[in-house]
Chains A and B, each alone.
Chain A
Amino acid sequence: MKAKLLWAKKRDEDDVPTVPSTLGEERLYNPFLRVAEEPVRKFTGKVAPAEVLQVLCRERLSFERAAEPLQPQARALLALQWGLLSATRQK
């Protein structure tokens, strides 16, 4: 996994694509393909593959939310730009 991450970083720096990989590689490091394996079961605290998968999806979502900066609502910004918010204030 660390080797793959290093590879990806290097390719990102060199501005070359990070696809493809092979199915064999994916089976080694892709947790979504490894739902029946013990370490992944242990991490999720589940045994049934579908339940393991569900927990992984949830974990991934929370990771992505943590990694993305909070974006102000686009519509709210637009409303501000168009002066719609001040109109509300005048009421």
Chain B
Amino acid sequence: MKVKVIPVLEDNYMYLVIEEHTREALAVDVAVPKRLLEIVGREGVSLTTVLTTHHHWDHARGNAELARLLPGLEVLGADERICALTRRLVHGEELQFGAIHVRCLLTPGHTSGHMSYFLWEDKCPDPPAVFSGDALSVAGCGSRLESTAQLMYQSLVETLGTLPAETVSSPTLPHLRGLASHTTEGVLWARAHRGQPRVCAKSGALQRPREGQAVVGQEEG
């Protein structure tokens, strides 16, 4: 399982997950389809499926164009409001793409129909990965817009928080300013970054510190 991290829209990420034996690929949260297709072309993979975490434009606005460019594309998610949705997923549903398994985890809070995707590969030393959209970010979470605090708590602590410790968490927004808010030094730093895009990168490689983790590629910004 190879995961390409694609920075888009200044402070978001799209992800392309590649099944390396079958060369099939899935995309998570397509905001900029042209950019995604360039990478699909360069990798020589066949993009069959889009997993959308929720209906907001910065996660789903590329679906319609991508579906037009790739006839037969499956666009999956849990919310009817997701643009160009072809099938609605339910909590606990499992999908399979070659050796890659996907477990669909409904994580309401940010939106009522927010789905996170837990991926792992058979007979593979790579740790599993969770694509949590705006439900869980680095050191924070998306704002609660549509659900009760109780439901959001269940999503964060019971659904996402109980995944294996080695799970690689891949949110759409890094939200590191949230982390900055926890220390005085961080607050000063966040103030210095006022008006600039959030902590993120326009380009660069995401190198894994340990061996045996999923390979993550490098993309130009």
Contact = CB atoms under 8 A, between A and B. Distances in A.
Contact of B149 (A18, A36, A50, A60): A50
B153 to A, nearest CB: 5
Interface in B136-190: 136, 138-141, 143-144, 148-150, 152-153, 156-157, 160-161, 163-171, 174, 176-183, 185-187, 189-190
B195 interface: yes
Interface in A1-42: 1-2, 4-5, 8-9, 11-12, 14-27, 29-33, 35-36
Contacts of A26: 136, 138-139, 161, 169
Contacts, number: 155
A15 B202 contact: yes
Nearest to A9: B189
B125 interface: no
A24 B189 contact: no
A15 B204 contact: yes
B96 to A, nearest CB: 22
B33 interface: no
B5 interface: yes
B139 to A, nearest CB: 5
Interface in B193-221: 194-195, 199-207, 221
Main secondary structure of the interface of A (DSSP, over half): helix
B113 interface: no
Given A22-B166, A27-B165, A8 B199 contact: yes
B127 interface: yes
B194 A69 contact: yes
Given A22-B166, A67-B191, A33 B161 contact: yes
Contacts of B157: 33, 35-36, 49
A22 B156 contact: no
A17 B183 contact: no
B13 interface: yes
Interface stretch (A51-59, A72-80, A81-89): A51-59
A61 B175 CA distance: 12
6 contacts: A5-B183, A16-B205, A19-B138, A20-B129, A26-B138, A67-B191
Interface of B: 5, 7, 13, 127, 129-130, 136, 138-141, 143-144, 148-150, 152-153, 156-157, 160-161, 163-171, 174, 176-183, 185-187, 189-191, 194-195, 199-207, 221
Given A19-B169, A23-B130, A30-B141, 17 more contacts: A2-B183, A5-B179, A8-B176, A15-B201, A16-B201, A17-B204, A20-B171, A21-B139, A21-B168, A23-B164, A29-B139, A30-B136, A32-B141, A57-B144, A57-B149, A60-B181, A63-B178
Q: Give the 3 A-B CB pairs with smallest separation, nearest first.
A: A24-B165, A16-B204, A23-B167
